[in-house]
Amino acid sequence: MKYLIPAVLSVLALMTACTPLPPQPARFNAYQGLTPGGAPPPQSSIRPPIQGSGKSIALVISDSSEKQYEYVEAVIAAMKGGGYMYSGDIDRRGRADYFNGQIVKKFQSKFARVELVDDFRNATAGKFDYIGLVDIAIQKPLTTGTTFGYDIDVDILTPSLQRIVSLRGKGLDNNRCPGSECSYATDMRALNQAMDQFYAALDANVR
């Protein structure tokens, strides 16, 4: 018994020593750093649906998305090093690769060529038929929270930087049971909800 009391106390101490999980950073203007003064582009006279078959699109990822990815990395780091119980594949499941991969796959199913470019200048050099500005937001629960969220906003632009259409997908779900597997299930529900909306929007606007 004399060995057990310190052991139990140490377990309790571990439970209370968790590093607080960081909060999701606020999103900011997706065009920041991409257009002069972050100004949104003018509306194009082209009306959706647009033709995707046989066409190329350059994907540009917003700076705001990068901040969201940094936040996700911080959450994972806190969970791994902050005294939380975590699954061995949290590195894999916690990151946004699957989410990003679904976005990429959807674009690849619609366009003949999909490439990643750094900025609009690289996308407006006449090498692409369209530009897609991808703006992502990801919400993980706080230490005592339960909410998972995914947002995807994509502006489809002409090579001359005129906005044809904005596509949106939003998913939000709350954990209803304890345990990491329940959390992942909630996470995936939120993700799929956002992806379903985005898929529907893309299907409706790109042939």
Whether 161 and 60 have beta carbons less than 8 Å apart is answered as: no
For residues 62 and 55, give the distance between their C-alpha atoms in angstroms, rounded to a whole number.
Answer: 22
Q: Does 37 bind another protein (CB under 8 A)?
A: yes
Q: Does 105 bind another protein (CB under 8 A)?
A: yes
Stretch of 16-24, 42-50, 66-74, 156-164 contacting another protein, by CB under 8 A: 66-74
Exposure string for 33-55, b = 16+ CB within 10 A, e = fewer:
ebbeeeeebeebeeeeebebeee
Nearer to another protein, 34 or 206 (CB): 34
Q: Does 87 bind another protein (CB under 8 A)?
A: yes
Q: Does 70 bind another protein (CB under 8 A)?
A: yes
What spatial distance separates the first Cα and last Cα of the chain, rounded to whole Å?
71
Stretch of 16-24, 41-49, 65-73, 160-168 contacting another protein, by CB under 8 A: 65-73
Residue with tokens 């366009």: 111
Stretch of 14-22, 117-125, 143-151, 152-160 contacting another protein, by CB under 8 A: 117-125
The total of other beta-carbon atoms located within 10 Å of residue 197's CB is 18
Q: Which residues contact 45 (CB under 8 A, 6 or more apart)?
A: 162
| Interacting residues with another protein (CB under 8 A) | 4, 7-8, 33-34, 36-39, 59-61, 63, 65-67, 69-70, 73, 87-89, 91-93, 95-98, 100-105, 114-119, 121-122, 134, 184-185, 187-188
